Amino acid sequence: MINEEKGGILIVSGPSGCGKSTLLKEVYKNVDNYYFSISTTTRNIRKNESHGVDYFYISKKEFKEDIKNGHFLEWAKVHDNYYGTSLKPIMKALKKGKLVIFDIDVQGHEIVRKKLNHLVSSVFITTPTLTQLESRLKNRNTDTNEVINGRLENAQYEIKYFQKYDYIIINDDFKLASSTLLNIAQIARNKSTLYDKEDMLNKWSK
């Protein structure tokens, strides 16, 4: 019997404000043996966030040093700030058989696909419309009008990528969207290419 849990990756992307982090918090309550990849960013910390929980917040100078030193699995510039995924903790979590969850943008998704495609399942999350995204960003009350306009502009660029993803969730009804995301996180464990072919065939030789 193969019962050892294999490390896998679940990438969640979608316009800022569509509900990714709120949905993920629901999923964490019900999914076992996962590791949330805490990104590093140069953007300002929001009032409900903390360093080392939501992100590691560093300066642009420090970020550029980290790029030079090869610390990132992937990084991207999003709305004038840098965001990146550190390589070391990801590799450690994968070795332990964890489901590693990334909340990264469409550029990051493309890079991780190129590097670790056999491990990746991915889901694009969005609001039903741009107008609904705007009202969520306004209600969230964490950004200035100028920042909100930048996020809306970026959303129109990101939506073009939705078919690069395995799954899509239109986050309208929160309960339905969170149970769908939980199902996807669970099924990500059954991706056939997480399993080693040679190992499998050895178990089938006479």
Using DSSP, state whether 142 is helix, strand or coil: coil
Q: Is 137 an interacting residue with respect to ligand 5GP (CB under 6 A)?
A: no
Whichever of 20 and 189 has its CB closer to ligand ADP, that residue is 20
Q: Minimum CB separation from ligand 5GP for residue 100, in Å?
A: 12
Q: Quick check: 16 binds ligand ADP (CB under 6 A)?
A: yes
* Binding partner of residue 189 among ligand ADP, ligand 5GP, none, CB cut-off 5 to 8 Å per kind: none
**Residues with Cβ < 8 Å from 181, sequence gap 6 or more?**
12, 23, 24, 26, 27, 123, 125, 169
H helices of 69-144, in order, are 87-95, 106-116, 130-140
- In the DSSP assignment, the letter for residue 102 is E
Stretch 91-150 residues interacting with ligand ADP (CB under 6 A): 136, 139-140
Q: Is position 108 an interface residue for ligand 5GP (rule: CB under 6 A)?
A: yes
Residue 48 burial by Cβ neighbours in a 10 Å radius (0-12, 13-18, 19+):
exposed
Candidate segments 1-9, 91-99, 102-110, 119-127, binder of ligand 5GP by CB under 6 A: 102-110
With residue 103 as reference, give the H or E element that holds it: strand 99-103
Q: Could you list the residues that contact ligand 5GP (CB under 6 A)?
A: 13, 16, 39, 43, 74, 76, 78, 83-85, 103-105, 107-108
Q: Could you list the residues that contact ligand ADP (CB under 6 A)?
A: 14, 16-22, 136, 139-140, 171-172, 174, 177
